[in-house]
Chain A
Amino acid sequence: MIQADKLSRLYGEKYAVRDLSFHVRHGEVMGLLGPNGAGKSTTMKMLTCFLPPSSGTASMDGIDIQQDLHVRRRVGYLPEHAPSYSDLNVHGHLSFMGRMYGIPEATLNDKIREMSAACGLEGRLHQRIDELSKGYRQRVGLAASMLHNPDCLILDEPTTGLDPNQMVEIRQLIRHLGEKKTVLLSSHVLSEVDAVCDRMMIIDGGELRALGTRDELIALSSSGLVLDVCMRGDADAVVTAICKQYDGCEVDMHTVEESGLTKLTFRHVDDSIPLAESVFSAVVAVGGVLLEMHAQETSLEDVFHRLTGGTS
């Protein structure tokens, strides 16, 4: 489990991360979302003991990050851009990583075989890393981070630069890993976090803006009910009936001259009212024809945009 409590990091006079508190449960994949410069990488650097926090604490499986060597043994880290020793071949790189984490020589080759199979690197073990594509380098980074079977995985933008097929494969792999480990991954690709993570947190300017499941975040920043309607008939009568029924209901109306259709958008702050049913009844009551009706859903992009001030 990863636990952070009021974690802060100053660069000079400026806060890169400020009072960040969260926890990631065992068997959970947590997404760390934020625009560029939001403090995602700094948070990860603190959790992996690369940088000490200026204030606040964090722990991995109950071990404080001050005890850096103990924490590092339990964490698998994939830094941004998946750096690796490009002059070595894949096997050489993984062997070095394994030895540094204290994997005994007797089991090292088995571990490398196991991880390279999990990451789809079987045929590439004796290829130099600088000859590999970006996707395979990313896999090498992932394999290296999991080689010592860590309890916690911290992945900084694990699918950056991958093609769509590779992205799907890596996401599946992370999803699979998340069943047994604690995974914290950062990204500014919303679809990735949506597809992989159980919960997500949004940070901006180093501060936590929101934390929860996808549905919780959407509910949190929902701006009410928005209903798009397309009808033929007396639209003014429908609008009058609805506005009379629901106080505070806002309506945009647009009539297409050629077809005689009217497009309406109803907005109400209370998303629990049966607006769709009322609109349907009103259209029928004025003898009109209802051609289309759908409620606009708040997307994760909308949530992200609202919470980060549209800076991404």
Chain B
Amino acid sequence: MSMAWMQITSLCRKEWRIVMDTPLGYVMAIAFLIVCGFFFESNLFLIGQADMRGWFSILSLLLMFFIPAMAMRMLADEKRSGTFELLATMPITTMSIVWGKYLALWVQIVVLLALTLLYPLTLSWLGNLDIGQVLASYVAAILLASSYAAVCLYASAITRYEVVAYVLGFVMLLLVFLLSKAMPTFSPAVQDWLVLLSPLAHYQSMLRGLVRLSDVMFFITMSGLFLSLTWFELERRRWR
């Protein structure tokens, strides 16, 4: 195992340990599952079909609230408590710090999403569920959450205060959401661009059960862009 990878996993393990040792992780997981369960159950009895498309559409909205909460302390807390100086003077590159934090956040999100697998399992037992479509939707949810995580990690890098990081992350995701919702009000040419640049449009496209390379690449590019911005923000102190 290379030194850089060992450091990234150590950072990830440390974050995971903080989440497990404090009420933060449990509160977040319980709140997420309660809200997800509520929307799953209400949709299920309303439609009366073994279908999860409605739930996955609402999930994109829920992620907008939960991911900023999970990401807010990642870097802001390090800066506020002074441990960032400790971290930045260890033999680790700034990019590895960003990867370590991102991986920790990503694993937490994937674990939360994995906990919701109970819903499709229940549905497949009750009715005839399209497993392929559900799997594609989970891939879409993980990709969307990954890009949201990168956005919120960036928000956490630009401030020392967790609450400010939450608000910044939430506002950035809200802008993405509002732009997607306001799409029909724009001219067709602008709409074409917005469809191309909107994470929600790519997400909705994948919910149909089709995992297209262009959609996957979009989410990877968006994550890469915000991770680069996070790296830039952390390195900026050196150029002041």
Which residues of A pack against B, CB within 8 Å?
Answer: 11-12, 45, 48-52, 69-70, 72-73, 75, 77, 79-81, 83-89, 92, 96-97, 99-102, 144
Residues A50 and B88 in contact in the complex (CB < 8 Å), given A11-B240, A88-B14, A99-B7: yes
- Whether, in the assembled complex, B22 has its beta carbon less than 8 Å from a beta carbon of chain A, the answer is yes
With CB as the reference atom, state the residue of chain B lying closest to A82. B82
A77 contacts which chain B residues (CB < 8 A)? 86, 89
Can you report 11 A-B residue pairs in the complex whose CB atoms are below 8 A from each other? A50-B85, A50-B89, A51-B238, A69-B91, A75-B89, A77-B86, A83-B83, A84-B86, A88-B14, A96-B10, A100-B7
Complex contact B237–A102 (CB within 8 A): no
B82: chain A residues at CB < 8 Å are: 79-81, 83
* Alpha-carbon distance between A79 and B89 when the two chains are bound, in angstroms: 10
Task: Flag whether B17 is at the interface (Cβ < 8 A).
Answer: yes
Across-interface contacts of A96 in B (CB, < 8 A):
10, 13-14
Q: Are B83 and A85 interface neighbours, CB within 8 A?
A: yes
- With A69-B91, A99-B7, A102-B6 known as contacts, the answer to whether A79 contacts B86 (CB < 8 A) is yes
List 20 extra interface pairs beyond A85-B14, A96-B13, CB under 8 A.
A48-B89, A50-B88, A52-B238, A72-B89, A72-B90, A77-B86, A79-B82, A80-B82, A81-B82, A83-B82, A84-B86, A85-B18, A86-B81, A88-B21, A99-B6, A100-B10, A100-B87, A100-B91, A100-B92, A102-B3
Q: Complex formed: what's the CA distance from A37 to B154 in Å?
A: 31
B6-27 Cβ-contact flags toward A at 8 Å (1 or 0): 1100110110011001100000
B57 touches A (CB below 8 Å) = no
Scan residues 75-126 of chain B and give those whose CB is less than 8 A from a CB of chain A. 81-83, 85-93
Which residue on A lies nearest to B86, using beta carbons? A83
Q: How far is the CA of A102 from the CA of B22 in the complex (A)?
A: 27
Minimum distance in angstroms from B230 CB to a CB of chain A? 18
B13: A residues at CB distance < 8 A: 96, 99
Would you list which residues of chain B between 1 and 54 have a CB under 8 Å from chain A?
Answer: 3, 6-7, 10-11, 13-14, 17-18, 21-22
> A73, A79, A99: which contacts B85 (Cβ < 8 A)?
A79
**Minimum CB–CB distance for B10 against chain A, Å:** 4
B85–A83 touching, CB < 8 Å: yes
- Chain B, 222-240, CB within 8 A of any chain A CB: 237-238, 240
Question: Nearest residue in B to A80 (C-beta to C-beta)?
Answer: B82
User: Bound complex: CA of A168 vs CA of B184, how far in Å?
Assistant: 72
Specify which chain A residues have a CB less than 8 angstroms from the CB of B240 in the assembled complex: 11-12
Are A72 and B18 closer than 8 Å at their CB atoms?
no
| Bound CA span A89–B11, Å | 15
CB distance from A98 to the nearest CB of B (A): 9
Report the separation of the CA atoms of residues A212 and B109 in the bound assembly, to the nearest whole angstrom. 57
A141's nearest neighbour on chain B, judged by CB, is B86
Which one of A50, A83, A92, A101 contacts B91 once the chains associate, using CB atoms below 8 Å?
A101
